[in-house]
Amino acid sequence: MLTLEKFEEASEVVKQVTQETKLVYSDFYSAQTGNKVYLKPENMQFTGAYKLRGAYYKLSTLTKEEREKGLITASAGNHAQGVAYAAKCYGVKAVIVMPTTTPLIKVNRTKSYGAEVVLYGDVYDEACEHAYELAKEHGYTFIHPFDDPVVATGQGTIAMEIFKELPLVDYILVPIGGGGLATGVSTLAKLLNPKIQVIGVEPAGANCLQESLKAGKVVTLPKVSTIADGTAVKTPGSKIFPYLVKNLDNIITVEDEELVVAFLDMVENHKMVVENSGLLTVAALKHLDVKGRKIVSILSGGNMDVITMSSVVQQGLILRDRIFTVSVLLPDKPGELSRVADVIAKQNGNVIKLEHNQFISINRSAAVELRITLEAFGSEHKAQIIKALEDENYKPRLVRTNI
C-alpha cells in the first residue's frame, strides 16, 4: 500500500510525464503572515494540475489486459486531463464522465488528449455514479480520482519533491476535495518526518472531510456549494479515510470570498493563474496562528476558463474596495455632472461607469440620481473620495456594484 518504497517507485515513474515544479518563495505571503512561505506550483504541470501524477502511476501498475479494456473515470476536470493524457501515452482508450458544470477549458483540454467526454450530473458524485454504470456496461477499467491508494501514492510524490528542496519544512498545506492528494502528501510527509504538520484545506461549502472526521466515519454532505469546482465533493474516499485520520493534523475551511481575493493577490504578486481549488492553501495562510515557520502551500491546479477568471477578478476588485459604486442626488440642471466629476478628479478617482436616472423623483428639478462606478487604490482612497463628496454636500450613498 502506501509505503516508502512505493512512494520512491512512484517518484521515478511520474518523472516520465511531469514538469519540474520547484518551490517558489513568496515575499508577499511571507510578509503578510510572518512566516517563510513557499508555493509548490502544480498549476505549471503540462495538464495544468498535479492529477497527472496519480493517473500515470496508476496506469503503470495495471496489466496490459486492464489497460486494453479501455479506461473510464469521473472528474470535475483535472483528474480527467490526467487520465486522458496518461491513456494517450499508453495508447489506450479513455472515457471521462464530467459534471455538466465543468468549465469549458477543462472539457476541451480533456478532449484534446483524445478522450471521449460524457457530461452528466451537476456535481462530481453524480458523474461518478454514472461512470460506474458505464464501466459495468462496457467492461472499462475504472480509475478513481481519489479513493485509490495507488493513485494517492502517485499524488504523494509532491511531498518527496518538497522534502528534497526544503528538508526542514514545518507545515504543508494541501487542498482537499475527496482526499487523494492529502492522503499521499500527509502519509509520505509523516514517513519522512513524524513531527511535520500537514494541514488539509477545504471550501467551507464542501467540507466533507471535516464533517467525516468529526463523525469518526465517512459521511456524505446533503449538498455542496462553492466556486472551487475541483474540490466540490460530497463524500471523501472511504479506502483512504484511515490514512487521513492518522496523518492529517488539522482541517481549515475557507469561504469563497477568500478565494476571490486570493486569486487577485496571486495574479498581481506572482503573475500566476491558479484555479479556485488551488488557491485554498494560500487563502488558509492567515488562519494559521504561527510565526517564523517554513510553510509550503500546494497550488494544486491552474485550469480556469477566461469567463470565470474575468468574474473572479471583478469580484476581487470590489471586495478590495478598488471598484465601488456611489449614488448621489443632483438638481437636474446644466453643470451638475461636471461639478461631481471635478470633485472626483481632484481626489484621483477614476470613473469607469455612469448611470443617470431622471425618474428617481417626480420633481426632476429637485433631484435626479447619478450612480458613479469608480476605480480606487483601496479602502483608504475610497473613504477619501466619499468624504470629498460629502464635503460638497452631495450625501453619497454606497450601492451594489454591477459591472
Which domains are assigned to the chain?
A: 4-49+153-316 (3.40.50.1100), 52-142 (3.40.50.1100), 321-399 (3.30.70.260)
% of the chain with per-residue pLDDT over 70? 98
pLDDT at position 256: 95
Distance (Å, whole) CA 197 – CA 252: 13
pLDDT digits (tens, 9 = 90+) for 233-287: 999 999 999 999 999 999 999 999 999 999 999 999 999 999 999 999 999 999 9
Mean pLDDT (whole number) for 186-213: 97
pLDDT at position 363: 63
pLDDT at position 366: 63
Residue type, 339: R
Distance (Å, whole) CA 269 – CA 102: 28
Whether 51 is a known active-site residue: answer: yes
pLDDT at position 360: 67
pLDDT at position 125: 83
* H/E element, 93: none
Which of 215, 262, 268 has its CA nearest to residue 238? 215
Torsion sign, CA atoms 237, 238, 243, 247: positive
243 or 315, higher pLDDT: 243
pLDDT at 390 over 90: yes
Q: Which residues pair with 389 in a beta bridge?
A: none
Q: Which three cell numbers stand for residue 9?
A: 517507485
Task: Indicate the average pLDDT of the chain.
Answer: 93
Model confidence band, residue 198 (pLDDT cutoffs 50, 70, 90):
very high
Lowest mean pLDDT among 28-32, 73-77, 320-324, 331-335: 331-335
Determine which one of 6, 51, 106, 190 is catalytic: 51
Model pTM score: 0.88
Pairing between β-strand 197-203 and β-strand 294-299 as defined by DSSP bridges: unpaired
Whether 379 is a known active-site residue: answer: no
pLDDT digits (tens, 9 = 90+) for 376-387: 999 999 999 999
* Cell 487577485 belongs to residue: 264
Mean pLDDT (whole number) for 385-394: 92
